Amino acid sequence: MNQAIIFDMDGTLFQTNKILEPALEATFDVLRENGLWDDVTPINKYREIMGVPLSVVWETLCPDFSQDDREQSNELFQEKLNEMIRRKKGALYPHVVMTLQSLSTKYFLFVASNGYEEYLQTIVDTYDLHHYFKNIYSIQLIPSGNKSELVKKVVEENDLAKAWVVGDRLSDFKAAKDNALTSIGVNFDFAQLDELKQADIVINDMKELTTLIP
């Protein structure tokens, strides 16, 4: 049986904050042009819910939208995000590459994220991360959108005897607990102190993992 480290993507490996605002602004610019929105872009509200499934994101940001309008807005947002990533407007967090290089020699590495498959693959391709990860798991694989079920899928499909879940939000820590795994919280941009208290361990720099995980 195998040992592995399961990483969240947004706010853990990838500095989503660098592309979030311009991508969201670009999306809401289109919504305003189409007469669907007449207010400022709800960036702060999005940051508060960062990490939840995208269906919940659009229910929260645009509660008066029809389901079709939410789906079209989400598709547009994804296009804007992927465009920003390909143009390298985003960035990995410091020491991510060196940490992945080190850990991948000893453990299977996975991504389990609430992001969509194309979005995750765009990050992996743009920053040449594919040779570090055994597989990338998107929340699109789970009809319920429950991250605990996504992590369970990673564990079962890869026959994992032991694993650590590294993330920045409560859904990551809950996913670890629900699957009897160890959670490691990263105190980065979108992390919230009350949620980090639910993690088994908290780090302030990704390179800490190289000595923290035996």
> Are both 61 and 161 inside the same structural domain?
no
Tell whether the model's pLDDT for residue 167 goes beyond 80. yes
> Are both 33 and 11 inside the same structural domain?
no
> Are both 105 and 178 inside the same structural domain?
yes
CA dist., res. 5 & res. 113, Å (int)? 13
Kind plus residue range of the DSSP H or E element containing 76:
helix 67-86
Q: What is the mean pLDDT of residues 161-185?
A: 97
Tell whether the model's pLDDT for residue 103 goes beyond 90. yes
Tell whether the model's pLDDT for residue 50 goes beyond 80. no
Report the pLDDT value the prediction gives residue 51, as an integer from 0 to 100.
Answer: 63
Mean pLDDT of the chain: 94
> Are both 96 and 196 inside the same structural domain?
yes
Report the pLDDT value the prediction gives residue 1, as an integer from 0 to 100.
Answer: 66
Report the pLDDT value the prediction gives residue 113, as an integer from 0 to 100.
Answer: 96
Q: What is the mean pLDDT of residues 6-11?
A: 96
Sheet holding 2-7, edge to edge: 135-138, 108-113, 2-7, 160-167, 182-186, 201-203
Out of 68, 86, 104, pick the residue that ends a domain.
86
Q: How confident is the model at residue 43 (pLDDT cuts 50, 70, 90)?
A: confident
Report the pLDDT value the prediction gives residue 13, as an integer from 0 to 100.
Answer: 98
CA dist., res. 172 & res. 178, Å (int)? 10
CA dist., res. 190 & res. 114, Å (int)? 14
Report the pLDDT value the prediction gives residue 47, as an integer from 0 to 100.
Answer: 78
Q: How confident is the model at residue 214 (pLDDT cuts 50, 70, 90)?
A: confident
State the CB neighbour count (10 A cutoff) for residue 125.
12
CB-count burial class (<10 Å; 0-12, 13-18, 19+) for 39: exposed
Q: What is the mean pLDDT of residues 124-129?
A: 98
Kind plus residue range of the DSSP H or E element containing 32:
helix 17-33
Whichever domain contains 153, its CATH number is 3.40.50.1000
Give the predicted TM-score (pTM) of the model.
0.92
Tokens representing 6 are 């399961």
Domain containing residue 166: 2-15+91-212
Q: How far is CA 119 from CA 4, 9, 65, 75, 170, in A?
A: 23, 10, 24, 11, 22
> Are both 82 and 105 inside the same structural domain?
no
Which has the higher per-residue pLDDT, 20 or 47?
20
- Find where tokens 């699957």 sit: 179
Out of 60, 86, 112, pick the residue that ends a domain.
86
Out of 52, 86, 120, pick the residue that ends a domain.
86
- How many folded domains does the chain comprise? 2
**Could you give the 3-state DSSP secondary structure of residue 107?**
coil
Q: Residue 143's Cα: distance from chain center in Å?
A: 17
**Could you give the 3-state DSSP secondary structure of residue 149?**
helix
CA dist., res. 186 & res. 202, Å (int)? 6
Tokens representing 4 are 């592995």
Tell whether the model's pLDDT for residue 164 goes beyond 90. yes
Report the pLDDT value the prediction gives residue 162, as an integer from 0 to 100.
Answer: 95
CA dist., res. 111 & res. 134, Å (int)? 9
| pLDDT above 90: percentage of residues in the chain | 87
Q: What is the pLDDT of residues 133-161, one digit of tens each?
A: 999 999 999 999 899 999 999 999 999 99
Tell whether the model's pLDDT for residue 209 goes beyond 80. yes
At 81, the amino acid letter reads L
> Residue 95: CB partners within 8 Å, gap ≥ 6?
205, 206, 207
